[in-house]
Structure 1
Amino acid sequence: MSASDHPFHRLTPAFVMDAVESRGYRCDCRTLALNSYENRVYQVGIEEGQPLIAKFYRPGRWSDAQIIEEHEFSRELAEHDLPVVAPLADAKDNTLSHFDGFRFTLYPRKGGHAPEFDNLDNLLIMGRLLGRMHRIGALRPFEHRPQLTSADFGHAAANWIAKHFIPDEYRDNYRALTRDLLQGIDQLMAEGAPRLIRTHGDCHAGNVLWRDEAPHLVDLDDARMAPAVQDIWMMLSGDRPRQLAQLSEIIEGYNEFHSFNPTELRLIEALRSLRIIHHSAWLAHRWKDPAFPTAFPWFNTPRFWDEHILELREQIAALREPPLQLI
């Protein structure tokens, strides 16, 4: 049985509460499933205490060492007073627990609302947070977690889609487009290879909670070695002048705590392209998980593949455009 087929349906409310109580807590029988697809996440009520968040990991994706290293990074950031939701440790200072074939972690529940990244003042604040995080992330590398590479996020993902998933009528076009796109990405990434540091890896609005007029980072599940700009480009949106204004605010705040290398800006469209290719492969790999067709009904339809092919063409053109430059 592959990781994609793993029976997450075993995670009934009773199972979830039994797992949480194995950590020494007493549940009050309130459980609420939260939006999560790669893993499964629940809010669990605790007697005479605040609810906890229980995260059950998809089997086969990460090793124990990789998960623990992510936890250690979160805790390191929290120890330096960064607003990161770090995992809770047990009496033996372990953050990763095992229960009846599943691995899980507990977190404190933290409220907040979605960030307003169209507010330039908020982007200045986010830049400061990322600068602080990367200053710590640059101190030493991950030993177990992977690097963000075109081999994994691009070539392997595109080859799998072409061989195993895409409808026949789109296959030749898809192969040709991804070949040309990845050739451009490889060339960009080979020209003065950027310094890789420990990053959040998936720093989009859905992984930021805003409360008390400040951002709080959550879900470092995709933390990996990557260029610093990987944690910046997903906050950019709109036309080129708008992105330049956004970027200026982010980097101004960033540079207050850590020096950003502006040559990394040439990688933005390459990283965006890799995310587009990898995301479609991620959906395809997980399509047998019943949560995915329900959550992503638009995927694997003729309209999706038409738009995906067009998106790949647009990314080839974007790679040929001059990169964003700081004002």
Structure 2
Amino acid sequence: MNPHPTDAAPHPFDALTPDLVLDALAGVGCLGDGRLTALNSFENRVYQVHLEDPVGDGGPRVVVAKFYRPGRWSAAQILEEHGFAAELAAAEVPVVAPLALAGRTLHHHGGFDFSISPWRGGRAPELDDFEVLEWIGRFLARLHNVGAARPFSERPSIGLESFAREPRDWLLAHDAVAPEVRSEWRALLEDAIVLIAQHDLLTLASRGETAIIRLHGDCHPGNILWTPLDRPQPGPYYVDLDDARSGPAVQDLWMLLSGDRRQRTTQLGALLDGYTELRDFDPRELALIEPLRTLRLIHYSAWLARRWSDPSFPRAFPWFGTPDYWRGQVDTLREQIEAMAEAPLMS
């Protein structure tokens, strides 16, 4: 695989022109007034659209149109995401759910599945503020209380096979790993998989050692927006659930942690102080944090490699695929192997 091809092949998103976007919205009764702004999203294409008239009776005049990456999720999987969002909204958990237009939340136009949601502004949460972390902890507990009510039937789980073995095989089969470090990377990855297997989530769940519930799935700080306290509906909220999967509750906690071990321990304590006000947390899940971090590391490299034909990826990640990138992955894998051998953040 050449991570920096000289002749870029056409990509499905090349056909997603502003006219197609506006025509798609018009087809479901949302007439744009011409103001169309692309929002930050790599996996899908997302646009803020101003409408000539509000949606329905007193609905929004500014909406967000999300056009799903072809081939990533099936229609059934997307609809399951929408159903989860509707459950959360019904339980008054702050999430922006897709609008039902003509009785449907998922639409199709020009070869693309798309949905339309109300636009809502916000800013990044102040994660160095312990009161904010406690509030987010309570928010996640409410989300998980709904998520635990019943399982996904279409969406997959986070696990060793889909986040480590399959990505490893794909990267090697497509010669995506720099030859200079391929042998070392593969050997370290095998060592990491052995350690992760000791905490394999589905195995633990089958033995009743951890609960697998419906999750946000990709709960890093960029996926939480914060409404200031002097505004209506203050606090944290999610704008969508595109990466929703099944997994242990701690998956939605660990990506909010940053800094050295002491800082992460303190942050986790604040999150759990809020979380446990509304939902019990199994402390045995803390042993899953470093295995989950390692799974994300492996999966992320394969995600970048698989998306390289999308022109937005070479522009945003020019360092990907270089020998320096893969040397960095080798170093990080080595660090993760050491971290997985250590005790959990808290006991």
TM score, norm. by length of structure 1:
0.96
**Deviation sequence 1:112-145 (CA, Å, 0-9, x none):** 0011112111110000001111011101000110
Give the superposition deviation at 1:168: 1.6
SS, match of residue 255 in structure 1: helix
Q: Is residue 196 of structure 1 aligned with residue 206 of structure 2?
A: no
Alpha-carbon distance in structure 1 between the residues aligned to 2:145 and 2:31: 39
Give the superposition deviation at 1:5: 6.3
Alpha-carbon distance in structure 2 between the residues aligned to 1:96 and 1:39: 14
Where do 1:1-327 residues align within 5 Å? 6-49=11-54, 50-92=61-103, 94-164=104-174, 165-189=176-200, 190=203, 193-213=209-229, 214-326=235-347
**Deviation sequence 1:192-213 (CA, Å, 0-9, x none):** 6421000000011111110133
Alpha-carbon distance in structure 1 between the residues aligned to 2:26 and 2:75: 21
Equivalent AA in structure 1 for residue 169 of structure 2: N
Equivalent AA in structure 2 for residue 166 of structure 1: V
Q: Structure 1: which 5+ residue stretches go unaligned?
A: none
**Stretch of structure 1 that moved more, 214-223 or 310-319:** 214-223
Alpha-carbon distance in structure 1 between the residues aligned to 2:51 and 2:118: 11
Please say if residues 208 and 216 of structure 1, whose CA atoms lie closer than 8 Å, have aligned partners that are also in contact: yes
**Stretch of structure 1 that moved more, 67-76 or 162-171:** 162-171
Give the superposition deviation at 1:6: 4.0
**Deviation sequence 1:37-84 (CA, Å, 0-9, x none):** 111111111013422100000111111110000000011101111110
Alpha-carbon distance in structure 2 between the residues aligned to 1:25 and 1:220: 23
Alpha-carbon distance in structure 2 between the residues aligned to 1:225 and 1:26: 37
Give the superposition deviation at 1:266: 0.1
Give the superposition deviation at 1:250: 0.8
Equivalent AA in structure 1 for residue 170 of structure 2: W
Alpha-carbon distance in structure 2 between the residues aligned to 1:54 and 1:48: 16
Alpha-carbon distance in structure 2 between the residues aligned to 1:128 and 1:163: 43
Equivalent AA in structure 2 for residue 40 of structure 1: R
Question: Number of matched residues?
Answer: 322
**Stretch of structure 1 that moved more, 125-134 or 302-311:** 302-311
Alpha-carbon distance in structure 2 between the residues aligned to 1:260 and 1:244: 16
Equivalent AA in structure 1 for residue 312 of structure 2: A
Alpha-carbon distance in structure 1 between the residues aligned to 2:83 and 2:75: 12
Equivalent AA in structure 1 for residue 164 of structure 2: G
Give the superposition deviation at 1:17: 0.3
Q: Is the alpha carbon distance of 1:234 and 1:14 closer, same or farther for their aligned partners in structure 2, counting shifts above 3 Å?
A: same
Alpha-carbon distance in structure 2 between the residues aligned to 1:267 and 1:198: 17
Alpha-carbon distance in structure 1 between the residues aligned to 2:66 and 2:72: 14
Alpha-carbon distance in structure 2 between the residues aligned to 1:274 and 1:247: 20
Equivalent AA in structure 2 for residue 98 of structure 1: H
Alpha-carbon distance in structure 2 between the residues aligned to 1:42 and 1:317: 42
Equivalent AA in structure 1 for residue 287 of structure 2: R
**Stretch of structure 1 that moved more, 186-195 or 287-296:** 186-195
Alpha-carbon distance in structure 2 between the residues aligned to 1:176 and 1:42: 43
Please say if residues 162 and 174 of structure 1, whose CA atoms lie closer than 8 Å, have aligned partners that are also in contact: no
Alpha-carbon distance in structure 1 between the residues aligned to 2:78 and 2:11: 18
SS, match of residue 181 in structure 2: helix
**Deviation sequence 1:217-246 (CA, Å, 0-9, x none):** 123111011000000000111112211111
Give the superposition deviation at 1:188: 2.0
**Deviation sequence 1:74-100 (CA, Å, 0-9, x none):** 1110111111011111122x1000112
Alpha-carbon distance in structure 2 between the residues aligned to 1:194 and 1:159: 28
SS, match of residue 198 in structure 2: helix
Alpha-carbon distance in structure 2 between the residues aligned to 1:200 and 1:108: 19
Alpha-carbon distance in structure 2 between the residues aligned to 1:291 and 1:222: 19
